[in-house]
Homo-oligomer: A and B are copies of this chain.
């Protein structure tokens, strides 16, 4: 299911999708990349099958959406259980992202949002309940994703 390398068409498709994954149809992407629309559809299907394209999500400004508190917990969990703990953490209401780290310690970062301090406290309690040993916690001011991407037609070693 994995592939050796993406070609220019694949990278071009990913590039356009990263700019706007919702409003760029196969036809649009085809024009940008220089292939037929059907080719784009086939490639996207393949990229999805291969697991390279896992899904499409909106970028939400949680603060403007009413969740003024945006916090990140760093915890330590048994190294063999990071995947399982990540799943459990994601089930907690308010948790929006989990990052598993390649370290024995402080190996699970959990990002969550809430409307009041109580929400954050509740989330922290639930994390402890499922076995997350919270070691650090900080508030997030703002989070920015890359508007462009690294799948353009230039190589990694350039600019």
Contact = CB atoms under 8 A, between A and B. Distances in A.
A43 interface: no
A2 interface: yes
A117 interface: no
Interface in A13-49: 14, 17-18, 20-23
Interface residues on A, range: 35 or more
Contact of A59 (B54, B99, B150): B54
Contacts of A17: 57-58
A143 interface: yes
A54 to B, nearest CB: 4
Protomer copies: 2
A6 to B, nearest CB: 6
Contact of A102 (B60, B82, B119, B139): B139
A9 interface: no
Contacts of A107: 141
Contacts of A82: 141
A86 interface: yes
